[in-house]
Amino acid sequence: MSNQMTAPNDERYCSIEESIKESFEEIRLMREGKKKKNTLEDLWAEMAEWKKDE
């Protein structure tokens, strides 16, 4: 079995890696007080937006 990744897997890996980096950046900004922390209501509203897009 080959260790080489196919292009779709590479793209998925990159998007996961980018997502993780963005999440850590958001956490850093929240800790520094530069970004508002989400409340539970904010998260429910965001999930409702995702449902609309589906």
Digitized pLDDT (tens) for each residue of the chain, 54 residues in all? 444 555 566 677 778 888 899 999 988 998 998 988 778 888 888 888 888 876
Instruction: Report if residue 17 sits inside a domain.
Output: yes
Question: What is the DSSP secondary-structure string of the chain?
Answer: ---PPPHHHHHHHHHHHHHHHHHHHHHHHHHTTSSPPPPHHHHHHHHHHHHHH-
Instruction: Report if residue 46 sits inside a domain.
Output: yes
The tens digit of pLDDT for each residue in 35-49 reads 887 788 888 888 888
What torsion, rounded to 10 degrees, do the Cα atoms 20, 23, 24, 26 define? Answer: 160
> Domain tally for the chain?
1
pLDDT at 35: 83
Instruction: Report if residue 1 sits inside a domain.
Output: no
Dihedral sign computed on CA atoms, order 20, 25, 28, 30: negative
Instruction: Report if residue 33 sits inside a domain.
Output: yes
Instruction: Report if residue 2 sits inside a domain.
Output: no
**Residues spanned by the domain of 31:** 7-53
pLDDT at 28: 92
Instruction: Report if residue 32 sits inside a domain.
Output: yes
Closest CA to 25 of 34, 38, 16: 34
> Model pTM?
0.47
